[in-house]
């Protein structure tokens, strides 16, 4: 009987002890809140990359171009018109409008447009002043270079050949980028012939007319 009483008292004491455990237990030291870490100093933004500066020039003859630019022009034309070959630049009557950019201190090809005087046009159109070899190096596309060069050709054309009212070009029907470029400049389609270099893809003739 005594043992039973003793067990009851012990159980009651244990319950009471557990109830007050948090209060009567050993207080564990709480970690002191650490202050927020100081912001890591960011490196100051150094000189921002500047947009490349392009230089524009006009050349009366492909043969007058500096040799390293001549080589770059041919490489670019092969990239722009793979498998098509390019117009024989040295024998074409006309001018080359060129955009270059400095790389490693040297001028480097960026974009070109040929302006051909009295060039033979496809189909029944006879001859006319024509734009050809419109080509921007892949790295410099979408920066307005072809637009810049074509605007220069058009402005010069109007000054130098005031009596001539039509400026022509041809473009493959599937060349949506070039067609969009020409349409923005005001060229309209006037003809369609078979592209000898790619049968099945029509070659469109477009014209820019001046009043």
* Residues engaged in binding ligand COA (CB under 6 A): 80, 111, 134-136, 141-147, 171, 175-178, 180-181, 184
Enumerate residues 6+ apart whose C-beta is below 8 A from 131: 113, 114, 115, 116, 150, 153, 167, 168, 169
Nearer to ligand COA by Cβ, of 23 and 51: the residue is 51
The minimum distance between CB 182 and ligand COA, in angstroms, equals 8
Report whether 126 contacts 190 (CB < 8 A): no
The minimum distance between CB 155 and ligand COA, in angstroms, equals 15
In the DSSP assignment, the letter for residue 35 is P
The minimum distance between CB 129 and ligand COA, in angstroms, equals 16
Q: Exposed e or buried b for every residue in 101-131, given b needs 16+ CB within 10 A?
A: beeeeebbbbbbbbbbbebebbeebeebbbb
- Report how far residue 179's alpha carbon sits from residue 199's, in angstroms, rounded to the nearest whole number: 19
Nearer to ligand COA by Cβ, of 155 and 177: the residue is 177
Nearer to ligand COA by Cβ, of 103 and 176: the residue is 176
The minimum distance between CB 179 and ligand COA, in angstroms, equals 8
Nearer to ligand COA by Cβ, of 62 and 136: the residue is 136
Work out whether the CA dihedral 204, 205, 208, 211 comes out positive or negative: negative
């Amino acid at each position: 009987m005594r043992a039973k009483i003793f067990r009851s008292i012990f159980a009651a004491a244990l319950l009471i002890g557990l109830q007050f455990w948090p209060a009567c237990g050993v207080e564990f030291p709480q970690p002191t809140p650490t202050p927020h870490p100081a912001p890591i100093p960011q490196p100051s933004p150094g000189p921002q990359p500047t947009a490349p500066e392009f230089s524009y020039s006009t050349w009366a003859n492909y043969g007058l171009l500096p040799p390293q630019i001549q080589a770059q022009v041919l490489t670019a034309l092969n990239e722009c018109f793979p498998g098509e070959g390019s117009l024989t630049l040295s024998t074409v009557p006309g001018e080359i409008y060129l955009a270059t950019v400095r790389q490693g201190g040297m001028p480097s090809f960026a974009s070109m447009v040929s302006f051909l005087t009295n060039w033979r046009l496809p189909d029944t159109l006879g001859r006319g002043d024509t734009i050809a070899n419109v080509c921007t190096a892949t790295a410099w596309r979408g920066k307005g270079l072809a637009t810049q060069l074509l605007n220069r050709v058009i402005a010069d054309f109007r000054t130098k050949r005031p009596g001539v009212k039509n400026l022509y070009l041809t473009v493959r029907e599937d060349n949506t980028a070039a067609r969009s470029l020409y349409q923005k400049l005001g060229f309209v389609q006037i003809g369609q012939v078979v592209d000898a270099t790619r049968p099945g893809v029509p070659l469109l003739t477009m014209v820019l007319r001046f009043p």
